[in-house]
Amino acid sequence: MPTAKDNRFGAYLKGRRAKLDPAAFGFPPERRRTPGLRREEVAQRANISPTWYTWLEQGRGGAPSADVLDRIARALMLTDVEREHLFLLGLGRPPDVRYQKNEGVTPRLQRVLDALEPSPAFIRTATWDIAAWNRAATVMLTDYGALPPEQRNILRFIFLDPRVRAAQYDWESVARFVVGAFRVDAARAGAAAVVEPLVDELCRLSPEFKAMWHDNDVRSHGEGVKHLRHPILGPIAFEYSLFAVDGRSDLSMVVYNPATPADTDRIRSLLDSRPPTSR
């Protein structure tokens, strides 16, 4: 007897199928009793048995494999979010990650960053490239806009930029944390192969990175305290938090909140003394 889970899975398949236009896929446009594709048409597009697909919609087809769900997702033209929901209903888990590099951020997301001042904030990719930032990040962390896009990488800053290194109170501890957290993020995003050229380059240019990378440590990160030596303000502390960007599995937002009201006032005064920057 079909379970409630089976019924939800079948209902989801049926609902997605009903939203598709048969003519868009080259199927005959004759009058149909119900909207959308027929079951056998979805089965044809997914290269599976029409009988089995019918059973899946009826909640009696058994547990499909991840490969079959992927084929059904493509057949139904599911978005990434819809595909994830299909896997959760069909297998009780999300699909294996597949890294998809997306360039840039929306103007709305940039406005979110700008609204967070005087807290430095930036958007980073799963490979730890800086994709967007606010003016406070430029003043307090690094002038990302002065660098070519391919150089805006956090690992490059930590291991290859003497100014960033000098700003750390305990550089080795920070560097080990960054390498371990980066390894986790790249693997979680399915980007292990994508970061190989960067890892190879850093291994050539930095013996310290090479040694830390080969230690194979992993670190979790989400929030914590960051102490910096700023060239103008001197010692300053931040409470940092990491946030996922909904609908963009390739991006996360990092916000550095000044740890004290005094630090907030110091940063705000420095921002007020600087002319606006352009990106």
Any idea where the domains of the chain sit in the sequence?
4-91, 107-273
pLDDT at 256 over 60: yes
Give the residue among 120, 155, 81 at the shortest CA–CA distance from 241: 120
Summarize the confidence of residues 199-209 as an average pLDDT: 96
Q: Which of 49-58, 113-122, 179-188, 241-250 has the lowest mean pLDDT?
A: 241-250
Tokens of 139: 């003043």
Mean pLDDT is lowest, of 77-81, 144-148, 189-193, for: 189-193
pLDDT of 278 higher than 60: no
Helix (H, G, I), strand (E, B) or coil at 90: helix
Q: How far is CA 38 from CA 23, 26, 31, 55, 195, in A?
A: 12, 13, 12, 14, 43
Domain 4-91 falls under CATH 3.10.20.310: no
Question: What pLDDT score was predicted for residue 6?
Answer: 56
What class has domain 107-273? alpha beta
Position 30 pLDDT exceeds 90? no
Compute the distance between CA of residue 227 and CA of residue 261 in angstroms, rounded to an integer.
15
- 121: which DSSP letter? E
User: What does each C-alpha distance from 17 to 47, 77, 93, 147 come to in angstroms?
Assistant: 15, 9, 22, 47
* pLDDT higher than threshold 80 for residue 271: yes
Provide the residue count of the chain.
Answer: 279
Rounded CA-CA distance 62/67 in Å is: 14
The pLDDT-based confidence of 204 (bands split at 50, 70, 90) is very high
Q: pLDDT tens digit string along 101-141?
A: 666 788 999 999 999 999 999 999 988 999 999 999 999 99
What percent of the chain has a predicted confidence (pLDDT) above 70?
93
**pLDDT tens digits, one per residue of 41-87:** 999 999 999 998 999 988 876 778 889 999 999 999 998 778 888 88
Going by pLDDT thresholds of 50, 70 and 90, the confidence category of residue 2 is: very low
pLDDT (mean) for 21-49: 86
Average pLDDT, the chain: 88
Task: Report the pLDDT value the prediction gives residue 103, as an integer from 0 to 100.
Answer: 65
From the CB of residue 149, how many other CB atoms can be counted at a distance below 10 Å?
12
3-class secondary-structure state, position 257 = strand
Whole-model pTM: value is 0.71
Q: Which of 175, 113, 179, 166 is nearest to 144 (CA)?
A: 113
Find all residues with CB under 8 Å of 160, minimum gap 6, and list them. 202, 205, 206
- pLDDT classification of 172: cutoffs 50, 70, 90: very high
Confidence at residue 194, expressed as pLDDT on a 0 to 100 scale: 84
Confidence of residue 3 (pLDDT cuts 50, 70, 90): low
Q: What pLDDT does residue 1 have?
A: 41
